Amino acid sequence: MKTTPPFNLAASPPGEQPGKRDIRRWRLVKLQVLLGFALLIILIIVTGTITIQQITMLGRLTSTIHEQSLEVSNAALRSSMSVAKIRRSMRDIILTDEETAREAILKHLETEEAGVYRDLDLIRDKILEAEGRELGEKCRAEFEKWKPIRQQVTMLILAGRVNEATRLTLGKGAEQVEIIQTSLLELTSYTKDKADLFITHADNLQKKTKRFMLAFILAGILLSCAIALITLNRLYYAIKRYRLFQEENERLIVELKQALTEVRKLSGFLPICASCKKIRDDKGYWNQIESYIRDHSEAQFSHSLCPECSEKLYGEFTKKSGK
């Protein structure tokens, strides 16, 4: 009795046993699970790398804010304060008549001037953008333009020409100081704006990193669920196929046993009488051949005569009836 398997097994080679097909399916499920988890690991590695890069960029931005914003703006503020001190010291030179006091003020001017140049050098070294460097160079150039005016004022005072020194200080000198302070203020505003821009960029980058991490977590959860569902689904169908095959095999075994119980075979050596053709059974009794075969098989007998026996037994009647 032929049965049709419950699943399509056309993919298997002809004659291949169900156990081998099950092994192939289990290997396929194992390979798919491994590939799924490999994909998940790759996704984690890529996401971790990108996240590290984002965090590194955020750290660089923070460092840039610190170096450019704080140091440059502080240097610009110190330069502005030093310029104001120098301006006040120039007035003190004009107002004082003592030689010792003038020498102390001149030394103080040299100290403040050196401090301004140090701050301008720091701005030139720390500032990154071209626009910021141009503002720093502009401040340096305007401060250097003020130096000859201060020297001229000092020479006029030492020559006793106080009124001319006063007019130069309050006129051309004051104008140059205003230009220097305006340049330093522009530089301070520029660094402040850049700091705000960097902070905004850092905030955006941080938000982007958070969104990316949330998306990665969601993708990882979905991928894990998909892998789990696919694995469970394939395992379920593999187990179901195995059970169906097992049930089919059990059913075939039952049918085979029933067939074996129904079919009786005559096998081995049968002791048969050479004269009467009786057969001796296992108990030692002699039975007619038709009785023995009927008892040991499902065959049934109907009696008739072959032509030779008919001729032998009833030949005379046949001939008479023929005449």
Whether 206 has a pLDDT exceeding 80, the answer reads: no
Residue where a domain stops, chosen among 236, 263, 287 = 236
What's this model's pTM, rounded to 2 decimal places? 0.50
Burial tier of 60 (Cβ tally within 10 Å: 0-12, 13-18, 19+): exposed
- Tokens matching residue 81: 């304060």
When pLDDT is cut at 50, 70 and 90, the band that residue 141 belongs to is very high
When pLDDT is cut at 50, 70 and 90, the band that residue 317 belongs to is low
- For residue 270, CA distances in Å to 267, 278, 281, 299 come to 8, 10, 8, 17
- Pick 142 or 201 by higher pLDDT: 142
Q: What total number of domains does the chain contain?
A: 2
Q: How high is the pLDDT of residue 175?
A: 92
Range of the domain at 303: 279-322
Can you list the alpha helix ranges (DSSP code H) found in 96-173?
Answer: 99-126, 130-158, 162-168
Residue where a domain stops, chosen among 174, 205, 236 = 236
Q: What percent of the chain has pLDDT over 70?
A: 80
Render pLDDT for 268-287 as a digit per residue (tens, 0 to 9). Answer: 667 888 778 788 877 788 88
Render pLDDT for 95-125 as a digit per residue (tens, 0 to 9). Answer: 887 878 888 888 888 899 999 999 998 888 8
Render pLDDT for 69-101 as a digit per residue (tens, 0 to 9). Answer: 777 888 888 898 999 998 888 888 888 878 788
Can you list the alpha helix ranges (DSSP code H) found in the chain?
Answer: 18-64, 73-95, 99-126, 130-158, 162-168, 174-262, 289-296, 307-322
Render pLDDT for 147-159 as a digit per residue (tens, 0 to 9). Answer: 999 889 888 888 8
Specify if 136 maps to a domain: yes
Query: Residue 154: which CATH number?
Result: 1.20.120.30
Specify if 272 maps to a domain: no
Candidates 206, 186, 181, 188; CA nearest to 68 is 188
Co-location of 224 and 317 in the same domain? no
Q: How high is the pLDDT of residue 179?
A: 92
Q: How high is the pLDDT of residue 114?
A: 92
Q: How high is the pLDDT of residue 38?
A: 76
Residue where a domain stops, chosen among 236, 252, 271 = 236
Whether 319 has a pLDDT exceeding 70, the answer reads: no
- Name the pairing type of β-strands 279-280 and 286-287: antiparallel
What's the length of the chain? 323
Co-location of 26 and 133 in the same domain? yes
Q: How high is the pLDDT of residue 43?
A: 75
When pLDDT is cut at 50, 70 and 90, the band that residue 145 belongs to is very high
Specify if 270 maps to a domain: no
Co-location of 205 and 303 in the same domain? no
- For residue 27, CA distances in Å to 23, 87, 235, 238 come to 6, 88, 11, 11
Co-location of 208 and 80 in the same domain? yes
Co-location of 289 and 170 in the same domain? no
Q: How high is the pLDDT of residue 20?
A: 64
Render pLDDT for 53-71 as a digit per residue (tens, 0 to 9). Answer: 777 777 666 666 666 677 7
Co-location of 309 and 213 in the same domain? no
Specify if 4 maps to a domain: no
Output the average pLDDT for the chain.
77
Specify if 206 maps to a domain: yes
Render pLDDT for 212-259 as a digit per residue (tens, 0 to 9). Answer: 777 877 777 787 778 777 777 777 777 788 788 888 888 888 888 877
